Structure 1
Amino acid sequence: MTLYDEIGTTYSAARRPDPRLAARIAAALGDAATVVNVGAGTGSYEPPTTLLAVEPSTVMIAQRPPASAPVLRARAEALPLADGVADAAMALLTVHHWADLAAGIAELRRVARRRVVILTWDRELTRDFWFLREYLPEGAALDDARAASIADLARLLGGARVEPVPIPHDCTDGFGAAYWRRPEGYLDPVVRSGMSVLAQLDQAVVRPALDRLAADLESGRWHERHRDLLGLEEYDVGYRLLVADL
């Protein structure tokens, strides 16, 4: 059983693709005529050129739309695919879940002829995100333990350009820092169900953090502390696209 077999039952309700992020991912893939999506989940951001999706969780596979690309149940570290099967391989917000990062990256490079695209976050930046810094430092510690550094990922890729991905204030995809300007979102259990960092932490730690946030929202303390965020249309919380040409 995978992590998302346990926590992913309502994933598609909280994690709806954002068209602005989709445009950035499509630009990173460039003119790739065929794409393999590794750690594909429910199929978010798969371009029409997706040849095949690879996902280990049956719970996530069951939530893929009927018209999605064909999907194989497998892990990133052992892709049941031929060498150079597609122009590009992509892995979006998934590498932090892989048991063997080096093996998974090597597999992406093996199955892609021309390009590998990875969406992840820079933990050096995200640990300063207000929700983690002020309310849930345990989440930053978990990220430090599970997320690879950008430098390590670039090295494993054999070199990569790194592109910042600012997050719109009304982002429809409910990943960890998507609610940077909508703090009340973290109090919504459906929203939280799409955030693996909250699902993986002991709820005896998460619950008091949410109670403190709720109290600060009610009193106005949160808005006073973060008034600088309220007029921003987008914000760099640390998400990064790595694009490696092979």
Structure 2
Amino acid sequence: MTSIYNAFGYAIDWQERYRLIKAAGFDGVMLWWSDGFGRGPGYREDPERARNAGLVVENFHAPVQWQNDLSLNNQAGESLFELYSQCVRDCAEYQAPALVIHLPNDEFPLNHLGMERLERLVDLAGELGVKLAMENIFNTRNLCKALDSFPSLGLCYDSCHFANDPEAPDLLRMYGKRLMALHLHDNGGGRGQHQLPFDGDIDWTRVMGEIGEAGYSGSISLEPMNWGYEDMDIKEFLRLAYERAVKLKNIGSR
């Protein structure tokens, strides 16, 4: 199975976007679950739109703007917990099997309150049958603490965040058996992230080899943006993205 992040750029009708994703060959989509970062209103209609196009909804991605507030003993911290809780409930309502969450960056260590809130999220997700996948993004001390403390949590492995984080341990070796989601993109381009695979410096033979060795059998999921590809037609962008996804899948199955 191959999937792609839904909000990868281009101003286009959303139902048409999903039709084009399916036409390019992808099986599924990962949905950005908020109206932020340019997504705009109507995101709650995306599960139905995607399924109408014949796509599987792989997961929702929780908002990230307030990720560092999880341990705060104030209204901001409580508001973030309630936001994540609602995202879990939305996964159950819209039949999305998993929620991807950013834990705080490591300069905001998870304290007792942060871990207590995380435990409540784990319990809620367990009650509703939703998987929680923690994504690596300059937060690996918090990430390892959470994964070591809660066995039901999974890892969302982001290839570019890992490649750009000089302090990250070998997450695939440590937690590869707990992979629940992938964000595969390269670190080329002017922003050093969210490029199509093979357009940056990531060693994809190593990455896909470790993913294969971990026994991962889920979707090969890309998280590119059209940054630097703006002159490329959306159909060509998706054609190229799908070609790269298949190439990664073939490397991982060797």
TMscore range, shorter length: 0.3 to 0.5
Q: Normalising by structure 1, report the TM-score.
A: 0.35
- Which one scores higher on RCO, CA 8 angstroms, separation ≥ 6? 1
Q: Normalising by structure 2, report the TM-score.
A: 0.34
